[in-house]
Amino acid sequence: MNSSNSALSLSSLNAQQLPLAANSASQRLPSTHALKQQLPLSTRLHTQVSAHRQAVRAILDGSDPRLLVVVGPCSLHDPQSALEYAERLAALSRDVDGQLLLVMRAYVEKPRTTVGWKGLAYDPRLDGSDDMVAGLTLSRELMREMIKLGLPIATELLQPMAAGYFDDLLSWAAIGARTTESQIHREMASGLPLPVGFKNGTDGGIGIACDAMRSAAHPHRHFGVDAQGHPAIIETQGNPDTHLVLRGGHGGPNFERQSIADVHQQLARIKVPARIMVDCSHANSGKDPNRQPQVFEDVLEQRLEGDRSLVGVMLESHLFEGCQALGENLRYGVSITDGCLGWDATEQLLRDAAQQLQRQNASVAASA
């Protein structure tokens, strides 16, 4: 193309003073610094989060033999039921801590294929009013209350601008199947001071996630927003604590032995460490929440047979099983997004897993 015919000069472009589209509007958000000052972490909680991050890192590098379990509601929509779930999980964590590191899902953003409720951070009133100032505030406050219970928490980082409102609270974060390919999310992950799991693409292949892990491990300079809310050049050091999350794909699940063997070969070929978490939901369960335990048990069996690259699992779980459509009369403790396993089944599943791991560890110790 002839540039002399196609390009506008800078002065010509400025002279046009293009108006905003008629359907555009803006409302200023608090800076990440301002919200963190409004809802700060105490020194004790900051130390606790740092210790939890280090515990996750130790599981990833194999120095901690526990299984990492990221578990909780598909997304948070009701603070009361979320906190009740967190209280139950904190109590369970104390019982199984020797074998399992339980991390609560505190997901406040919901990726949408087309349209729909985007999560607590976007629409905390569940009515389409999209009061994101209130949503960010409520989300941070709710996460902080969970941390006060002694829990490590995790979320999916969907909107990079939102990440700075929560990054000091998180012990683990996910980059979803739809955003793993995004350069912006890879750059963001390279600057996060916590472990990050990249999900395989929706086609089920791991190539995109492997590229993402290698990219996030390197330093970057990229466009971003600083803590005061100003556009800035962000310089990152690279994140060495990334890993793969298998969630299945259009062709079906990818947690079975043959799939895991294939993943091992691919990771070895490109020299990416074999640190694998299996998401027991999504395509791995055929989107049937009641099949999550079967996936979990299969992965646990592979680990008990000696595959220590299987460092973690993810479960979608709420107080009560299933899901419900967003409406006026919502049932308490039931997901309004993906279907979840109920608490009773979740607790039994995790207690049984802890017992199996404990028996194996005792057997290994006895034979040493």
CA torsion sign for 35, 190, 282, 295 is: negative
Instruction: List Cα–Cα distances, 358 to 128, 201, 294, 365, in angstroms.
Output: 48, 34, 20, 10
d(C-alpha 80, C-alpha 113), whole Å: 28
Cβ atoms of 79 and 142 closer than 8 Å: yes
pLDDT of the chain, 368 residues: tens digit per residue: 444 443 443 343 343 444 444 556 688 999 999 999 999 999 999 999 999 999 999 999 999 999 999 999 999 999 999 999 999 999 999 999 999 999 999 999 998 888 899 999 999 999 999 999 999 999 999 999 999 999 999 999 999 999 999 999 999 999 999 999 999 999 999 999 999 999 999 999 999 999 999 999 999 999 999 999 999 999 999 999 999 999 999 999 999 999 999 999 999 999 999 999 999 999 999 999 999 999 999 999 999 999 999 999 999 999 999 999 999 899 999 999 999 999 999 999 999 999 999 999 888 778 87
CATH fit for domain 67-343, picks 3.10.20.30, 3.20.20.70, 2.60.40.10, 3.40.50.970: 3.20.20.70
CB atoms within 10 A of CB 12: 9
Quote the tokens at residue 208: 């995109």
How many separate helices (H) and strands (E) can be counted in the chain? 12, 10
pLDDT in the model for residue 361: 84
pLDDT in the model for residue 13: 38
pLDDT in the model for residue 21: 46
Per domain, the residue ranges of the chain are 67-343
pLDDT in the model for residue 82: 98
d(C-alpha 245, C-alpha 277), whole Å: 5
pLDDT in the model for residue 363: 83
d(C-alpha 106, C-alpha 177), whole Å: 18
Letter for the amino acid at 7? A
d(C-alpha 212, C-alpha 296), whole Å: 25
pLDDT in the model for residue 303: 97
The pTM for the full model equals 0.92
d(C-alpha 72, C-alpha 86), whole Å: 8
